[in-house]
Every structure is written in structure tokens, then in C-alpha cells.
Amino acid sequence: MMVPDDDRSSRQLSPEETRRRVDASLRRRYRRERLFRFYGLFSVCLGVVFLLLLFGTIIGNGYSAFRQSFIHLDIHFDADVIDPDGARDSDVLSVADYSLLVKAALRELIPEAASRAERRELNQLVSAGAIFSLRDTVMADPQILGQTKPLWLPLNSEVDLWLKAQASGKVGAEVSTRLSEQQLAWLERLQAGERIELRLNRAFFTSGDSREPELAGIWGATKGSFFMLLVTLLLSFPLGVAAAIYLEEFARRSWWVDVVEVNINNLAAVPSIVFGLLGLAVFINFFGLPRSAPLVGGLVLTLMTLPVVIIASRAAIKSVPPSVREAALGIGASPMQMVFHHVLPLAMPGMLTGAIIGMARALGESAPLLMIGMVAFIVDVPSGPMSPSTALPVQIYLWADSPERAFVERTSAAIMVLLAFLLVMNATAVWLRSRFERRW
């Protein structure tokens, strides 16, 4: 027998007792195991559900914005109304009161709207922007004066909402609307007469912002975003690559390089709004650059994406094996030639991938742009990086803030467009990576 040299070890459990106790614990432990596993799966599902809910909401709200209600009117281009002098002077044509033509055409369709109040209600059905398409028609072809031409003109957004609700199968009281009984009756008559149709909403893709939802489009914001990204790409890519080359290939380890490195990592995590403050204080107040200009936006986004590009480029340079460098130096290339002729081309796909991901982040960014005045209400489509403009995400913010109900679907549609751009950019990055990725 083993002599117990200490009363502690004498109290050791027998194997049978150990087995009994383990056995007793098993049920409880397996229940916990299942529960824990369930929590994990539940969390994963929750994440996926959030994503689906988000996309569901956006698409469910937004898909209808790609179509818009139009009314088919026989417009008589009455020369007496548009151009009483008959001079066809473009100054006169551009300021003429085209709403009279619309009113006349409507009166013809619904003659029984006689009183002043009734006629006003009737005229309200057609978008205030219809006159612009009439004006453009006349300006493009003054010969049309005196003729009658059937045209599809946009309806007011309130009408548009009601018609879309009808089209989706909702009836009567289910649809809340600000339209009067009388207006609804007219609309039903026009529908019966096949005067009203849901058609592709071209204005949404071709025009700038507008106070009238049915005229508002994303082209202005898209172009603003484009100019901004152009500036960002042209600046942040070369600068980021240059910084990465220096840090990876030329800088000797020292406290100073450590400072630069820590600083770059920190900068990548600084809130974007702080970059907006920097842009406001430096670019606008100090250098006096114009507010709301894509150039300034691009500069701010450059500073913001620079760390991302530098980090990605460094990773790409690091992945080029030292043997390539040794081979180049071995045949007498200078370090600079080695980098620019050999390392850089091999690292390029990785750098481009990083740049695209940085650009995608910049495209979705809005907070710093609010600081530098890109939230202004701008109708004109910008013509260059110096003209005032807004950006796609800021446009979404502006529309999301508008009280008109019709902007809800347009906001969602604009988000769909923005997400589509981001998807394309990220897919390109993934494709680039898989296409050119080399394993050494």
C-alpha cells in the first residue's frame, strides 16, 4: 500500500468517485454547450437578418422611383401665347409662360372644371416642371409653334404616389393622400381614358436636385461625386504609393519611422468629421478655396483615404519577395531603378486593389462633406471640379431630410444607385485581387 505522506493526497478521489462526479455534471454541461452554440448561430442569423432587413427596406421603398406617372396631353403650341411678336427671339421664348399651354390642354380634356377653384385643383395635377419640357421642346424647334403635338408630361408627385399605390393593389381608404375627392375622380377618368401611364423616370437619372420630387434627379450629385473621386484618386494614389515605397524600401528603422507608422494607423481611425473640420479650417478659411466645390471635397477625401492606400500599398510591396530585389540589384540596378522597374509593377495589382477599396470608402463618405458646404441645394449639374455641387451620399442625406413624402422613394432609389456603384467597385477589387494575386 502506498503510504500517505500527507493527508491531502490521502483524500484524493477514487477513480470510481471521479467517474461518478463527471457523469453527474454531464447533463448540465451539454445543455450549456447547446445553448452556447445556439447563441452563436443566433447571432450569425441576426447579422444576416439585419442585412436583409436593410436591403429589403431600401429596395421595397425605392424600386418604384424608377418609374414616374405621366399624362398624355395634346399640347397646342399657341404662337399667340408663346411669341406674340412672332420674332422667334430665344430670349422671349425662354421666358414665355408655358403653363398656359398645359392649362389649356387640361381644360380641353376636362371641360366641366369651370370654377376658378376647380381649375386650380385641376392644374395642380400636372407637375410644375412640365413647363420646362415644353420650353425645351420649343427652344429646340421653334417651327413647332402653331402646331399641336401630343406629349407625355410628368404628373405632380402627390398624384404619382397615389397612382403607384393604386398600381400596387391598394384601394380607397388604404391610401392616404392629400388629393381631393374631385381630383381623384378626374384621375380615375383620365386613367379610364388611358391618358395616364407609369413610364421610365428618365429625369431621375438625368437632372440635378429640385424642390419638386418628380423633377429631382441624381445626375448632379453623381457628377459631383465623380469629380471628387477623380481628385481623390489622382492625389491619393500617387502620394500613397510614394509614401509606401519610402517606408518599405528606403526608410531605415528609427524612432521617426515608428512615429510615421503609428501616425498612419491612427489617422485611419480618426473620425471622418474631423477631416471635415480640417478641410473647413485649412482649405476654405485659410486658402480661400470655394465652398461646395468638388475640388475641396476631393482634397479632404484624399487626406482621409491616404492612410488606407498607404497601408494597402505597403502590404503589396511587402509581398514582393526579396529575391526579386536581390536579382535587380545584382545586375547593377540602382535601388531606385530596382523599385520602379521591378518591385512596383509586381506590387501594382495589390496597390490598385487598395486604392479601389479606399475610393469606395470615399464614395460613401458624407460627414466631412457637410463641413465644407456640399450640403447646399444645388440645381445645376456641375461642369467641373470647381463648380458648386453636392455628392451622392449627401444628396441622400438631403432628400432623407425633406418633408415631401415622395422623396422617400427617391432617397431609397438613390441609395440603390450608390450601393450599386459600391458593389461594382468592390467586385472590381475582388476580381483584381483574384486575377493578379501571386503566391510566391
Partner 1 sequence: MRLPTLLLILVAIVLAAFFLGRQRALSLARPAGGIRSLHSLPKYYGYYAALGAVLPGIALLLMWAAFSESLITARVVQSLPEALRNQPDAELGLTLNDIRNLAAGQMFDESRRAEFAVAADLYNSLRESSRRILSGLVVALSFSGFALAWFQLRPQFRARNRVEGAVKVALILASLLAIATTIGILLSVSFEAVRFFRQVPLSEFLFGLNWSPQTAIRAGQVGSSGTFGAVPLFVGTLLISGIALLVAVPIGLMIAIYLSEYARPALRRIVKPVLEVLAGIPTVVYGYFAALTVAPMIRLAGQQLGLEVASEAALGAGLVMGIMIIPFVSSLSDDAINAVPQAMRDGSFALGATRSETIKRVVVPAALPGIVGGVLLAASRAIGETMIVVMAAGLSANLSFNPLQSVTTVTVQIVTLLVGDQEFDSPKTLAAFALGLMLFIVTLLLNIIALQVVRRYREQYE
Partner 2 sequence: MLTMDKSEDVIVPPADAAPAAVLPVAAERIAPDTVGDVTARNAVICVRGGNVHYGDTHALINVSLDIGRNEVIALIGPSGCGKSTFLRCLNRMNDTIESARVSGDFRLDGQDMYAKGTDVVMLRARVGMVFQKPNPFPKSIYENVAYGARIHGLAANRAELDDIVYGSLERAGLVDEVKDRLDDPGTGLSGGQQQRLCIARTIAVNPEVILMDEPCSALDPIATARIEDLIDELSAKYAIAIVTHSMQQAARVSTRTAYFHLGRIMEVGPTDRIFTNPSHKLTEDYVTGRFG
Q: Taking CB under 8 A as the rule, does residue 329 contact partner 1?
A: no
Closest CB 109 distance from partner 1, rounded Å: 37
Q: Taking CB under 8 A as the rule, does residue 32 contact partner 2?
A: no
Q: Taking CB under 8 A as the rule, does residue 22 contact partner 1?
A: yes
Q: Which one, 58 or 138, has the nearer CB to partner 1?
A: 58
Q: Taking CB under 8 A as the rule, does residue 269 contact partner 2?
A: no
Out of 81, 93, 198, 267, the residue judged to bind partner 1 by CB under 8 A: 267
Q: Taking CB under 8 A as the rule, does residue 35 contact partner 2?
A: no
Q: Taking CB under 8 A as the rule, does residue 11 contact partner 2?
A: yes
Residue 286's binding partner among partner 1, partner 2, none (Cβ under 5 to 8 angstroms by kind) is partner 1
The residue whose grid cell reads 524612432 is: 255
Out of 117, 200, 242, 424, the residue judged to bind partner 1 by CB under 8 A: 242
Cα of 225 vs its chain's centroid, Å: 9
Out of 63, 250, 431, 436, the residue judged to bind partner 1 by CB under 8 A: 250
Out of 110, 273, 324, 329, the residue judged to bind partner 1 by CB under 8 A: 273
Q: Taking CB under 8 A as the rule, does residue 294 contact partner 1?
A: no
Considering only residues 113 to 152 of the shown chain, the ones binding partner 1 according to CB under 8 A are: none
Q: Taking CB under 8 A as the rule, does residue 234 contact partner 1?
A: no
Q: Taking CB under 8 A as the rule, does residue 18 contact partner 2?
A: yes
Q: Which one, 29 or 178, has the nearer CB to partner 2?
A: 29
Q: Taking CB under 8 A as the rule, does residue 25 contact partner 2?
A: yes
Q: Taking CB under 8 A as the rule, does residue 6 contact partner 2?
A: yes
Closest CB 373 distance from partner 1, rounded Å: 8
Considering only residues 347 to 406 of the shown chain, the ones binding partner 1 according to CB under 8 A are: 360, 363-367, 370-371, 375, 393-394, 396-397, 400-401
Q: How far apart, in Å, are the Cα atoms of 252 and each of 50, 257, 407? A: 47, 8, 56
Can you give the binding site for partner 2, defined by CB under 8 A? 1-2, 6, 8-9, 11-13, 15, 18-19, 21-26, 29
